[in-house]
Amino acid sequence: MSKVLLELKDICKAYQDGSEKRLILENISLSVEAGEFAAVVGPSGSGKSTLLSVAGLLLTPDSGSILIAGKDVTSASKRERTGIRRRQIGFVFQNHNLLPFLKTEDQLSFVQDRGVKDKSKIDELLRELGIESCRSSYPAKMSGGERQRTAIARAFINDPDIILADEPTASLDAERGRAVAEMIKAEVKKRNKAAIMVTHDTRILDLTDKVYRIEDRRLVAEQ
Amino acid sequence: MRYALKEIAFEKKKYILIELLLILLMFMVLFLSGLASGLGRAVTSAIETMDADSFVVDESAEKMITVSKVETGLLDELRAKGVEAAPLDIHRMHIRKQDDDEKLNITYFAIEAGSFIEPEVIEGKGLSHSDGEATILLDDDFRVEGISVGDKVVDAAAGTEFTVAGFVKDRMYGHTSVGYITTDSYTKLRQALSPMYVPEYHAIAVKGDKDLGLDPDILESVSKKEIIKNIPSYTAENMTITMIVWVLVIISAVIIGIFNYIMTLQKRRQFGVMKAIGLSGGELAGMLICEVCIVSVFAGIVSLGLTFGMAAAMPEKMPFYLEVSNAVTVTAAFVVISVLSSLLSVINISRIDPIIAIGGGDNE
């Protein structure tokens, strides 16, 4: 059995909605192993993004614990969380979220860990994702697919333990969306990462290893 | 630094506009501060450039040379003690050219020819080269009036004639140009106006810090700095102008701060994303402050160049005087205040919640 890289245990999260508290996630537990590509689906507003934010240390759960690479990070300080996000978590966002003023290779070196200015790593990722030709282009000059692939490269640059993808195909057409999901899958498998992808797009679920559905605040495994 | 430069290079148009605005503001500040110190110099330069350390004035004069009275015997007493001392009278009058009725303001500085407070001439000869003739050294502003070396000028009230022996540079007192005459000429001039005049000095200029052994009830020794401060209206004028300059420095720097703040507001999402992917608040603040530094230092350098270039091209009579050290202080203060005012943006960045990176593009 492979190593579990991400583990969520009994996560609860509620939002203050006016005067009452609205429970979004209730006792959610989930573990993802190295080399596993999991998908989380569910209707909008069901708490998919909240779950991803909790896993990505952007939100603190009301109860429950988060383990990354076996280490409990539930009560890490704000500063520690920032460091963990940089080194152990790779994000792929819905709208690429690249910095408009940086060329592709700078997008990667900008987030590369300080002191680890390893150019060969950048070259390798650009080659694998087929965006070498965009090396010196600004995001505004690239196609949607190229941007999203750059964002994937950025997510992998610091060799993180887990990859969190938030609707990575939402801004692309079916064909390009599928290509992007395939690339995430290929990188996850090759580099042995644990990945969670939140998505609407049921046509790419066949690429994932496991599919979870959020229903009534609870996480249910499908298949 | 590298990424800050990349951002500036990418947003060229935006930054060129901001830079232009800053340069204009800075230029205005520097130019005004040059005019301010030029005006200040117009009040004090004859004293400021004088090679004396302190002045002996009478105790009741409240540190003003022009109303002080010192007996002539004191000069010899001081000299007998080995003190380097020289007599000084300051008197504001009018002169006219020999064949002209137009009166020109002048402040006489009556000194002993050859004493250490006699200024260096930039044209002509010093006072000691007179052949018994009454001579005068004029501030070079009088050249603009068409006076040249060898001309005769006449005291408008007493009718005493002086031959212009030479010109000196940058000697003003109380907004008038100074003319240096000998103490003897001065005594004659005063006697021509009132036969009762008994020779006396307004003050005695002293070099060095020897103990003068003055009777504190009658006399006091006042430093050059104090004397300048007590020139009528100097402190008040100077304070007003200095205030204007510093208020402008602060306003301009705050304008940069506001620009910067607006720009960070526009980039909230970008900062949220950077935080989400693990860039620390310190790194982001560093980048922002770096940008502010680059922009304001560049504006500072350009406007310094502009100001000094402009100063070189300005007419002589314009009271513009800007010391490099002074200009650099103002510029440095400008940079520091801009950085401080951008701390507002830093606080704003630190409050951005990285969660705005998750979800669609528009939710803030």
Q: Spell out the alpha helix ranges (H) of chain B.
A: 2-10, 12-48, 73-80, 183-193, 224-229, 234-266, 268-276, 281-312, 324-341, 343-351
**A116 pLDDT band (50/70/90 cuts)?**
low
Is residue B362 situated within a structural domain? no
Tell whether B226 and B259 lie within a shared domain.
no
**Rounded Cα gap, residues B262 and B274, in angstroms:** 18
| Mean pLDDT score of chain B | 88
- What CATH number labels A4-221? 3.40.50.300
Residue B14 placed within a domain? yes
Beta carbons within 8 Å of A207's beta carbon, 6+ residues apart: A37, A178, A181, A182, A185
CA distances from residue B69 to A62, B85, B218 in whole angstroms, order as listed: 87, 16, 10
Label the pairing between strands A194-198 and A89-92. unpaired
| Residues A48/A40, Cβ–Cβ less than 8 Å | yes
Question: What average pLDDT does this structure show over B15-44?
Answer: 87
Terminal C-alpha separation, chain A = 20
Q: Both B88 and B227 in a single domain?
A: yes
| Interior/surface letters B214-235, b for 16+ CB within 10 angstroms, e for the rest | eeeeebbbbebeebbebbeebe
Amino acid at B172: M
Which parts of B82-207 fold into alpha helices (H)? 183-193
In a domain, B199, yes or no: yes
Does residue B189 sit in the same domain as residue B306?
Answer: no
| Amino acid found at B83 | V
Identify the residue among A57, A78, A81, A82 best suited for mutation to test binding to B, counting B beta carbons within 10 A and taking the highest: A82
How many domains is chain B built from?
2
Do both B221 and B259 map to the same domain?
A: no
In a domain, B363, yes or no: no
Q: Note whether B7 and B53 are same-domain residues.
A: no
| DSSP code, position A2 | P
Between strands A162-166 and A89-92, the pairing is: parallel
Measure in Å the smallest separation between the Cα of A201 and chain B Cα atoms: 15
**Residue B69 domain-assigned (yes or no):** yes
Contact criterion met (CB below 8 Å) for B255 and B87: no
Tell me phi and psi for residue A154, to 5 degrees: -65, -40
Alpha carbon of B35: minimum distance to chain A alpha carbons (Å): 42
Q: What is the dihedral sign for C-alpha A38, A41, A47, A53?
A: positive
Is-contact A64 A34, C-beta < 8 A? no
Tell me, rounded to whole angstroms, the distance of Cα B40 from its chain centroid: 5
Range(s) of the domain holding residue B308: 2-43+235-357
User: Is B262 a member of any domain?
Assistant: yes
Residues B16 and B153 in one domain: no
Contacts of A43-51 spanning 24+ positions with Cβ under 8 A: A44/A200, A46/A214, A46/A215, A47/A13, A47/A214, A47/A217, A48/A198, A48/A214, A49/A166, A49/A198, A49/B358, A49/B359, A50/A13, A50/A24, A50/A25, A51/A8, A51/A11, A51/A25, A51/A198, A51/A214, A51/A219
Confidence of residue B175 (pLDDT cuts 50, 70, 90): confident
Percentage helix, strand, coil for chain A under 3-state DSSP, each rounded to 5? 35, 30, 35
Q: Give pLDDT, residue A223.
A: 66
Burial of A192 (0-12, 13-18, 19+ CB in 10 A): middle
Same domain flag for B87 and B99: yes
pLDDT-based confidence at residue B360 (cuts at 50, 70, 90): low
Domain boundary (B209, B231, B253) is at: B231
Same domain for B80 and B222, yes or no, is yes
List residues of A whose CB lies inside 8 A of any B CB. 49, 52-53, 56, 58-59, 79, 82-87, 89, 91, 93-95, 97, 99-102, 106, 110-111, 138, 154, 158, 166, 170
Q: Could you tell me which residues are beta bridge partners of residue B220?
A: B57
Q: Which residues pair with A215 in a beta bridge?
A: A218
Q: Judging by DSSP bridges, how do beta strands B104-111 and B135-139 pair with one another?
A: unpaired
**pLDDT grade for B363, boundaries at 50, 70 and 90:** very low
- B255, B25 contact by CB (below 8 A): yes
Residue B147 CA to residue B145 CA, distance in Å, equals 6
The answer as to whether B224 is a domain residue is yes
Ranges of each domain in chain A: 4-221
**Residue A207 in this model has a pLDDT that exceeds 90:** yes
Above 80 in pLDDT, residue A83?
A: yes
**pLDDT for res B130:** 65
Q: Tokens standing for B264?
A: 């960070």
pLDDT given for residue B43 in this prediction:
86
Residue B127: pLDDT band by 50, 70, 90 thresholds? confident
A111–B360: do the CB atoms touch at under 8 Å?
A: no
Beta bridge partner(s), residue A20 = A17
Q: How many Å is the Cα radius of gyration of chain B?
A: 29
Q: Which residue in B has a C-alpha nearest to residue A93's C-alpha?
A: B358
Of all residues in chain A, what percent carry a pLDDT higher than 70? 97
- Asked if residue B209 and residue B112 are part of one domain, the reply reads yes
Distance from CA of A119 to the nearest CA of B (A): 16
Sign of CA dihedral B122, B128, B132, B138: positive
Check B278 against A79: CB less than 8 A apart. Answer: no
Q: Which helix (H) or strand (E) holds B206?
A: strand B203-207
Query: Could you tell me if B182 and B73 lie in one domain?
Result: yes
Alpha-carbon distance A138 to B12, whole Å? 14
**pLDDT of residue A189 exceeding 70:** yes
| Statement to judge: residues B181 and B295 lie in one domain | no
pLDDT band for A102, please (50, 70, 90 cuts). very high
Strands A37-41 and A194-198: parallel
Amino acid identity at B361 = G
Task: Provide mean pLDDT across the span B271-294.
Answer: 91
pLDDT for the residue numbered B362: 46
pLDDT in tens, B288-329: 999 989 988 999 999 999 998 988 888 777 778 888 888 888
- Out of A58, A99, A101, the one facing B354 most closely (by C-beta) is A58
| Global ipTM | 0.90
10 Å CB burial of residue B261 (0-12, 13-18, 19+) is middle
pLDDT given at position A1: 56
Contact B107, B174 (CB under 8 A): yes
One-letter amino acid of B66: T
Nearest to B6 among A84, A106, A158 (CB): A106
pLDDT of B364: 37
- pLDDT tens for each residue of B236-255: 888 888 888 888 888 887 88
The first and second tokens of residue A40, run together, are 């989380």
Position B313 in a domain? yes
For the segment B65-80, the average pLDDT, to the nearest whole number, is: 90
Give the residue from B212, B231, B250 where a domain finishes: B231
Complete DSSP assignment for B282-324: HHHHHHHHHHHHHHHHHHHHHHHHHHHHHHHTS-TTS-----H
Could you tell me how far CA A125 lies from the centroid of its own chain? Answer: 17
Task: Choose one of B200, B231, B262: the last residue of a domain.
Answer: B231
Residue whose structure tokens are 């002509």: B124
User: How high is the pLDDT of residue B138?
Assistant: 94
